[in-house]
Structure formats: structure tokens, C-alpha cells
């Protein structure tokens, strides 16, 4: 935390995506992976299968009850800040980035290791402990610039109706 002046309370400092270590993927690299979130056939997020255990371990650590959790200062949050956010469907905590601040102390976040987004009350968001900055982002956003109708149909049926 940074301190503004002697008579004011400390201002929390928030990390950004650029503070995470990079993952280097060489052109032509072939690896097994999963689509973790799909916005459309031309925009989706992929996780590498070889990183499954790292992701599960990270989530376990984020949900450890022994962690000291600090509430976020809604007024101090800005788009791009890394936080710990509670996913509504399962109640678990995940790393997230603030995408936007909305009305009534609500925040749009993107869960950086999966790619999905949620609108959360500020009470469901915490400061991200520094220990979680040593892990890279575990998703890569992928774009498909030209998606013909046949490919689009096959893609949608395989993503949303897998065998």
C-alpha cells in the first residue's frame, strides 16, 4: 500500500496484467488445449492441457481460508487492475481483471485464467495477494479473422454440443 499523506489512510496499489510473467509461445507451436470460454466462433479463449494442474493448484491457493483478504476500495479501482473475484456460479475465488466500473458499486471483471466475464458487487471482489502475481495468465485469447458459414456451424456444434 502507498501512503498519500500522514493524515490520510493508505491507498491500495493494484497490479496490472503487464505485471504477470509472460508466456512465450513460438509460431508453429502445437499443443493440446481446451476452449475455456467462447464469445463467438471468431473470439474465444484457450487453456493448454499441460497447465491443468497449475491452474487447479492456483485456484486451490486462491480459495485457502488462511489468506488475509483485504476489501477493495471501489473508488480506487480502475479498469486494468488485477483483483481476486468470486465467481457467482460456484462461489469460488479466481484471479480477475477489472474491465469496467458500473453503477451501484458493481464491477465488470474478466476471469483471466478462463476468459469469461461477470458483473459483481464490490463485496465479491478482493485485493489480489502479491503471491499470485508470479503465475502467468493461463488463457490465450484467440481470434479467427475469416469464419465461413460451414466452419462457423461446425465450430459452434463442437463447442456447444460436443459428443
Which CATH number goes with the domain that contains 73?
Answer: 2.30.30.140
pLDDT tens digit string along 131-159? Answer: 999 999 998 878 777 666 555 566 556 65
Q: How many domains is the chain partitioned into structurally?
A: 1
Query: Per the domain annotation, does 162 fall within a domain?
Result: no
Query: Per the domain annotation, does 38 fall within a domain?
Result: yes
Q: What is the mean pLDDT of residues 6-31?
A: 76
Query: Per the domain annotation, does 115 fall within a domain?
Result: yes
Query: Per the domain annotation, does 149 fall within a domain?
Result: no
Report the percent of the chain where pLDDT is more than 90: 47
Average model confidence (pLDDT) for the chain?
83
Query: Per the domain annotation, does 25 fall within a domain?
Result: no
Q: Determine the structural domain holding residue 104 and report its residue range.
A: 32-142
Query: Per the domain annotation, does 77 fall within a domain?
Result: yes
pLDDT band at 34, cuts 50/70/90?
confident
Query: Per the domain annotation, does 83 fall within a domain?
Result: yes
Query: Per the domain annotation, does 152 fall within a domain?
Result: no
Residue closest to 17 by CA, chosen among 62, 77, 72, 82:
82
Amino acid at each position: 500500500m502507498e501512503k498519500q499523506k500522514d493524515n490520510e489512510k493508505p491507498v491500495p496499489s493494484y497490479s496490472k496484467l503487464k505485471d504477470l510473467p509472460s508466456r512465450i509461445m513460438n509460431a508453429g507451436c502445437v499443443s493440446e488445449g481446451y476452449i475455456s470460454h467462447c464469445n463467438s466462433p471468431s473470439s474465444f479463449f484457450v487453456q493448454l492441457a499441460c497447465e491443468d494442474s497449475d491452474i487447479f493448484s492456483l485456484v486451490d491457493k486462491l480459495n485457502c481460508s488462511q489468506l488475509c483478504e483485504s476489501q477493495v476500495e471501489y473508488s480506487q479501482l480502475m479498469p486494468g487492475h488485477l483483483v481476486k473475484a468470486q465467481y457467482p456460479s460456484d462461489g469460488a475465488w479466481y484471479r480477475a481483471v477489472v474491465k469496467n466500473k458500473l453503477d451501484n458499486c458493481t464491477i465488470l471483471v474478466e476471469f483471466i485464467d478462463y476468459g469469461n466475464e461477470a458483473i459483481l458487487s464490490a463485496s465479491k471482489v478482493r485485493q489480489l495477494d502479491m503471491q499470485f502475481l508470479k503465475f502467468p495468465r493461463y488463457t490465450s485469447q484467440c481470434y479467427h479473422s475469416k469464419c465461413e458459414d460451414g466452419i462457423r456451424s461446425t465450430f459452434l456444434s463442437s463447442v456447444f454440443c460436443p459428443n
